[in-house]
Structure 1
């Protein structure tokens, strides 16, 4: 049964969850996966807003799944259908026909997630130099205080003024949610805000679709450093309402306690078990391996959300095995308990690489320094195969049972050229700064 927190996390319609792992029973969050990137989006880099719609849950048991003779994933998996609809092509589902390694190019750029407890892009990241927000206001003839207040009300400290008041971090400790006492510049009092809250949901996709700034740019007497421009690009994507394709289901906890794990050591809540490894294997090998496109992933299975741009993958080892062998080795049982239709299993170790955060104020991709901000992590799973060797599901095994991607998503385009946020931030102005930074000499 799904936890109350997961019910509160839904966004707009039907989700299907299961006790097993066939592809057609992987949990998904929304009936239409193409949704706008805004503060109702399930990838939001903070807790789910209280006014988010709940979703209806149908529990599909293995006993019911037995009667479904059409288990081919293109006909049964919601998320696979979404990929096929978006790319207008069938996904290849036989592991032997998929590339064993691939890297997406151009490499996404590392950047900050502009933590909320630091007031987002209002933070003075460069010592005593003005923040990216203050620089933008001065260069484009906006009132700095009004502009920065508007940003703070949107996704900074002022947006969380209903949280516990504080004057120091100790006063937030007993919340047990990683909160720090967040105070705006020049103020002595603030509010307890979890330190993972931020703009990772805006930085990660922007790092994929926008080029990395290189050189400082002077505009109307104001010097914008590359990191300032990264901040402004990130802020644009937080408010530009760009269409996205969202796959999987966000899990909102609890991360520990009685009943969190089932008897096989897996998360009991299906929203925590996904992304299912069967779907992830198909998605990453088709998207990066065959289509040279990539996606953003929440790389933690728990309640916190850490959106990271995925760079590549490498299948480092595989081992074919019977369902009985897999059941005994990984789940300490004589028969495989999760998918009655599986004829065999394929054990996989997949080394996936993704980009992590950085505040470095220099080009990172073009200089090769991006390697220092690329994390490589191995994931273990078994793919469930039908008689033809096609993937029909999968299960996480080993340490990956509790450490795996939670969901994945990607933009369906860039921000519109005429985008202007309520704060007054203009994508055209930011894009002009970005172009000048790329073309500059430094």
Structure 2
């Protein structure tokens, strides 16, 4: 990435993660002069370590009302799948109260409808994007599997299948025989599972970002390595102050994930309740060909995704903010959770732990909007679905960017009311 600022810019994208880079490429294809600004190299934040799963089946928010019963465990168990650091509780409490309010029936249904709308467009958007850069092989469209081990879990699996069908999510009940045939290295403890045929996985999420960056550069996008510290709206556009200078731009897109709240407040006056799901993964470089597709454990609550670099174990959530150091023991816990899921235990030699910040809003929906008379575009808060929804978000942003200055976003693009900034 360059450290110099271009002299003439139509739109500046703040954030070089998967959402920001995908948006930058689509904006450039609209004929706009685009610059991407980030304090680190593209794809080195949350986009580097996601689970790699194209999770179009995940139409329900991360929590339901059972979270109230689980709260003591969330505070006391540092290795639990959903963890709230007790030291962070005073800061997190207002966010969690809003989360609980959004779990009431009416807002919960709005959330599900909003997630589902984006997810239904995600696979097609990724197919179009990867085809446009001649890299369709980066995505394996081979489905994913949710398995269960305990006979008493069958009722929960059947209930989930019914809920998925209500939301028109393609899903199939697989008996043990079908699982043995497709994933023979899984343990005989597996009782069955749900197969989602309209999902897939990326062979290397970081490579996806890098390929999009190269395509964006070929389309004229410039990448600048600086930290944006503040911004201000003017009659003719936006001025941004960075740690190395200033930048004038006609429009700005805020797409810097969990770090988006401060700049959004500076440019819009709106303080969004953005927090972070700290996600961990453990990469096993010596594990190839164990699984044909991503497999999630119902009881153990984590996912295993086969990638070019090995097998990635991921899926736990920790609420502890942006400042506390990572607890890498949570990453190693993923290997312990895998024991018993295979006929032969996974090889953790040379395993690499990782932690990243996933931006999360209390209604589990992103902000995708155009405000400030069209000068400020917003695309952040995708929680654990940033990779899944990046391509469809980029298509929406590219359409919003070229609307006339005073226009609101037309509802014909998608039911975008659910993602507006002014819902907060």
Band of TM-score, shorter chain: under 0.3
* Larger helix percent: 2
Q: Select the structure of larger CA radius of gyration.
A: 1
Structure (1 or 2) with the greater strand fraction: 2
Normalised TM-score (structure 1): 0.22
Higher relative contact order by CA 8 Å / sep ≥ 6: 1 or 2?
Answer: 2
